């Protein structure tokens, strides 16, 4: 089973981002997704910088994928998207139907691309269509359960790589509004790039102090950290191809190591989950995997 | 200036009485759904069975109006046949267009009912002309409903770059998140607009008077707490008050409604073909009031006899039925973002 490092969802200072990926070149992940998927105002790394990081990681033996932005609003967003799609070297994860059109339309459709988790692919008819259009891998929407994913794979006419969101705060929603700017009474257009101060986003709690969500610019995430570390025997039994680990402010490399050890059978599920706890910015959850509200943590027997 | 195409007024019909009052008060089209998870307003007591749908279609067609069917949730492997059956039932009913989000369903509808008109639902999250043109090229959609995220200039740019008719939301409950890209309700309750057709569903809601005030909870999660004298709103989870860095406020969005009445001449100028009124879950009285005001406004605009002016009485009527009794221009107004 392969491990993938998902795209960086937060906005870190340039040096911190470059240092993080330099570390990842040595980490036991097989695939690295790169690029800005959340907010077009985030410019610490521009596309040309991301392509340089991509070259370094590829030279270190990683499969590199360029992820496209989820919410595309302006012509300038589309221009960036066209540059990503026509990069000519790295495969592309399409996170919006505009990207799918650019990958599949025109005279020279791209033969091989990845259907990202925000395309809302929930059934074999839709996934089969995207497979025919050149998608060779499907990243399941995080809200899908183990059973739903298994049923979809069972109904699919052709073989296809399947990747699941296995670790990280859940990317739950996207908006035109920036909630980080709103917190500081700033407008999005003059946000002062406040996201740079929060390596793991800004925690949002209920009025009785329970951690609930995380504000990450225009994206809203869960407060709890979705992790399948305690569910890996089931994941392995299902024969899924790839597990996605979403970068977190600290300890991403240790989390990757835990996954490797657990997958190799060196750690029991409960032990892996217990060892992970000090590495997480908030308590774990795995409800979505079990077909439950995502916030729940279900202990596997 | 009169736009080249009249703007269609598309009104919500959560029930047969709502459908009839929408038609009687000047809706050009009504949109509705079946009584199940195939549509994004899957609430108890709402929506249509085959018999009431047939009656609704007859009522609308007798008066020269159209009926659009929302089948805008995403089916899973196990329930796929319910969705395709719903498409067949709708076609048999003589529906004028299907509002779909799922590409697989679009392919099915195109193949099985080639003459049936297809609209891309707001749940399809298509915010750029490239995204909209994907559905046009693959499935021949006639119209797309834009998520409530674009500014007016961006809407204009989309329209200039697609042959697909563009419909926008004009009034009603405001999703602050991109429609189709929100799993907040799934995270809290296990039910989402995408898969179950429901956001913050009623069966998970608890109202509780406590010494600290009226508390509203969603699956046990405290969404808001109201002091005596404060009007306690429904706990839609993005419209609660939360604590961020020690400050308690509407961290995501206030309980407010979208109202773009004053933008109507601009929407017409940029070439918007239809205005959608949100609210299939609202009462026939709401539908009556909102339809009446928007019909009057569109007629005034298209009469072209005097410069368009928003009547104070129109706004007063609309504010009466707005959530939180307040309204916003949403993303059309840049500082909102």
- Contact B148/A at CB under 8 A: yes
Nearest to A197 by CA among A179, A210, A213, A216: A216
Q: Is residue A121, in this structure, part of any structural domain at all?
A: yes
pLDDT, tens digit (0-9, with 9 covering 90-100), for A228-262? 999 999 999 999 999 999 999 999 999 999 999 99
What is the number of other CB atoms lying within 10 angstroms of the CB of residue A218? 27
- pLDDT for residue B3: 54
Taking the Cβ of residue B107 and every Cβ of chain A, the question of whether any pair is shorter than 8 Å is answered with yes
Q: Is residue A292 part of a domain?
A: no
What is the pLDDT at residue A300? Answer: 61
Q: Do A174 and B241 touch (CB under 8 A)?
A: no
Please provide the size of chain A in residues.
Answer: 301
Write out the DSSP string of B259-323: E-GGGHHHHHHHT--EEEEP-TTS-HHHHHHHHHHHHHHHHHHHH-SS-----HHHHHHHHHTSG
Percentage of chain B exceeding pLDDT 90: 81
Number of domains in chain A: 1
User: Looking at residues B243-265, what average pLDDT do you find?
Assistant: 93
- What's the ipTM? 0.97
d(CA B17, CA B3): 32
Distance CA B159, CA B154 (A): 9
Query: Would you say residue B335 has pLDDT above 90?
Result: no
Q: Please check whether residue A283 lies inside any domain of the structure.
A: no
Of B150, B238, B242, the CB nearest to A73: B150
Q: Can you give the residue ranges of every domain in chain B? A: 8-174+256-336, 184-249
The CATH number assigned to the domain holding A46 equals 3.20.20.70
From chain B, the residues in CB contact with A97 under 8 A are 124-126, 130-131, 134-135
Q: What is the pLDDT of residue B100?
A: 98
Q: Which of B80, B101, B184 sits opposite A173 (nearest CB)?
A: B184
Cβ contacts from A onto B, under 8 A: 213
How many other CB atoms sit within 10 Å of the CB of residue B64? 8
Q: How far is B266 from chain A (nearest CA, A)?
A: 19
Tokens 């406590």, residue located: B210
Residue B75 has pLDDT above 60, yes or no: yes
Under the banding of pLDDT at 50, 70 and 90, the label for residue B325 is: low
Of A128, A188, A207, the CB nearest to B243: A207
Check CB contact under 8 Å for A210 and B222. Answer: yes
A158 assigned to some structural domain: yes
DSSP result, A68-89: PPSS--SHHHHHHHHHHHT-SS
pLDDT band at B256 (very low <50, low <70, confident <90, very high): confident
- Backbone phi, psi, residue B11, to 5°: -115, 155
What's the residue count for chain B?
A: 337
Secondary element (H or E) of residue B90: helix B80-93
Q: Could you give the CA distance from residue B267 to residue B274 in angstroms, rounded to a whole number? A: 9
Cα-based angle A266, A63, A2 (whole degrees, multiple of 5): 25
Interface of A with B in 198-217 (CB under 8 A): 202-210, 212-213, 215
Quick check: is A276 in a domain?
no
Instruction: Determine whether B302 is exposed, middle or buried from the number of CB atoms within 10 Å of its CB (0-12, 13-18, 19+).
Output: middle
Q: What is the model's pLDDT at position B330?
A: 82
Give the pLDDT of chain A (301 residues) as one tens digit per residue: 999 999 999 999 999 999 999 999 999 999 999 999 999 999 999 999 999 999 999 999 999 999 999 999 999 999 999 999 999 999 999 999 999 999 998 777 887 999 999 999 999 999 999 999 999 999 999 999 999 999 999 999 888 999 999 999 999 999 999 999 999 999 999 999 999 999 999 999 999 999 999 999 999 999 999 999 999 999 999 999 999 999 999 999 999 999 999 999 999 999 999 999 999 999 999 999 999 999 999 976 4
To 5 degrees, how large is the angle CA A55–CA A56–CA A59? 85
Mutation for A interface: B103, B136, B258, most A CBs within 10 A = B103
Q: How far is A251 from chain B (nearest CA, A)?
A: 23
Parallel, antiparallel or unpaired: strands B242-244 and A113-115 = unpaired
Span B128-147, average pLDDT:
97
Check whether B235 has a pLDDT greater than 80: yes
Q: Is A189 within 8 Å of B334 (Cβ atoms)?
A: yes
| Average pLDDT across chain B, whole number | 93
Q: Which CATH superfamily is domain B8-174+256-336 in?
A: Aldolase class I (3.20.20.70)
| Within a domain: A300 | no
Distance from C-alpha of B287 to C-alpha of B11, rounded to nearest angstrom: 7
Q: CB distance A122–B181 less than 8 Å?
A: no
Asked, for residue A92, whether it belongs to a domain, the answer is yes
In sequence order, what are the beta bridge partners of B213? B210
**Tokens found for residue A76:** 């300038």
A192 within some domain = no
């Amino acid at each position: 089973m392969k491990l993938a490092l998902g795209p960086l969802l937060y906005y870190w200072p340039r040096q911190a981002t470059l240092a993080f990926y330099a570390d990842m070149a040595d980490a036991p992940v097989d695939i690295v997704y790169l690029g800005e998927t959340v907010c077009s105002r985030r410019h610490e790394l521009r596309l040309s910088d991301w392509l340089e990081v991509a070259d370094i990681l590829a030279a270190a033996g990683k499969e590199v994928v360029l992820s496209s932005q989820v919410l595309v609003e302006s012509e300038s967003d589309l221009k960036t998207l066209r540059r990503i799609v026509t990069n000519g070297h790295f495969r592309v994860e399409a996170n919006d139907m505009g990207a799918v059109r650019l990958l599949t339309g025109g005279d020279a459709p791209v033969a091989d691309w990845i259907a990202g988790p925000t395309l809302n692919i929930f059934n074999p008819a839709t996934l089969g269509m995207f497979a025919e259009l050149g998608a060779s891998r499907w990243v399941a929407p995080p809200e899908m359960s183990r059973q739903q994913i298994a049923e979809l794979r069972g109904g699919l006419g052709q073989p296809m790589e399947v990747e699941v969101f296995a670790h990280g705060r859940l990317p739950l929603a996207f908006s035109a509004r920036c909630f980080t700017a709103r917190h500081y009474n700033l407008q999005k257009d003059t946000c002062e790039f406040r996201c740079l101060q929060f390596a793991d986003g800004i925690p949002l709690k209920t009025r009785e102090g329970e951690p609930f969500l995380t504000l990450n610019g225009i994206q809203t995430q869960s407060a709890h950290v979705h992790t399948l570390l305690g569910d890996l025997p089931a994941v392995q039994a299902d024969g899924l191809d790839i597990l996605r680990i979403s970068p977190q402010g600290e300890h991403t490399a240790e989390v990757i190591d835990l996954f490797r050890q657990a997958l190799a059978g060196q750690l029991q599920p409960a032990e892996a989950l217990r060892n992970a706890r000090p590495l997480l910015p908030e308590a774990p959850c795995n409800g979505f995997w079990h077909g439950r509200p995502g916030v729940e943590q279900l202990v596997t027997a | 200036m009169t736009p080249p195409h009249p703007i269609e007024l598309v009104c919500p019909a959560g029930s047969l009485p709502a459908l009839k009052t929408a038609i009687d008060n000047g809706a050009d089209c009504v949109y509705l759904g079946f009584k199940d998870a195939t549509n994004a307003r899957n609430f108890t007591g709402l929506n249509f069975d085959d018999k009431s749908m047939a009656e609704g279609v007859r009522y609308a067609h007798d008066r020269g109006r159209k009926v659009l069917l929302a089948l805008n949730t995403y089916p899973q492997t196990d329930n796929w046949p319910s969705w395709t059956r719903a498409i067949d039932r709708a076609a048999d009913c003589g529906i004028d267009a299907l509002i779909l989000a799922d590409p697989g369903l679009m392919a099915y509808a195109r193949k099985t009912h080639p003459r049936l008109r297809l609209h891309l639902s707001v749940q399809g999250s298509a915010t750029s002309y490239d995204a909209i043109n994907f559905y046009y090229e693959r499935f021949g959609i006639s119209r797309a409903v834009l998520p409530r995220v674009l500014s007016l200039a961006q809407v204009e740019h989309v329209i200039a770059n697609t042959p697909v008719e563009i419909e926008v939301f004009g009034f009603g409950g405001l999703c602050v998140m991109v429609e189709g890209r929100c799993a907040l309700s799934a995270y809290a309750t296990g039910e989402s607009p995408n898969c179950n057709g429901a956001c913050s569903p009623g069966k998970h809601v608890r109202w509780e008077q406590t010494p600290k005030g009226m508390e509203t909870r969603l699956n046990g999660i405290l969404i808001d707490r109201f002091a005596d004298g404060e009007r306690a709103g429904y706990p839609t989870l993005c419209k609660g008050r939360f604590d961020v860095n020690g400050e308690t406020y509407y961290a995501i969005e206030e309980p407010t409604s979208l109202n773009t009445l004053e933008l109507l001449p601009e929407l017409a100028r940029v070439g918007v073909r239809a205005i959608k009124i949100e609210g299939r879950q609202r009462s026939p009285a709401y539908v009556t009031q909102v339809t009446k005001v928007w019909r009057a406004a569109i007629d005034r605009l298209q009469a072209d006899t005097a410069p368009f002016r928003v009547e104070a009485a129109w706004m007063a009527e609309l504010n009466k039925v707005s959530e939180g009794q307040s309204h916003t221009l949403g993303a059309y107004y840049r500082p909102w973002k």
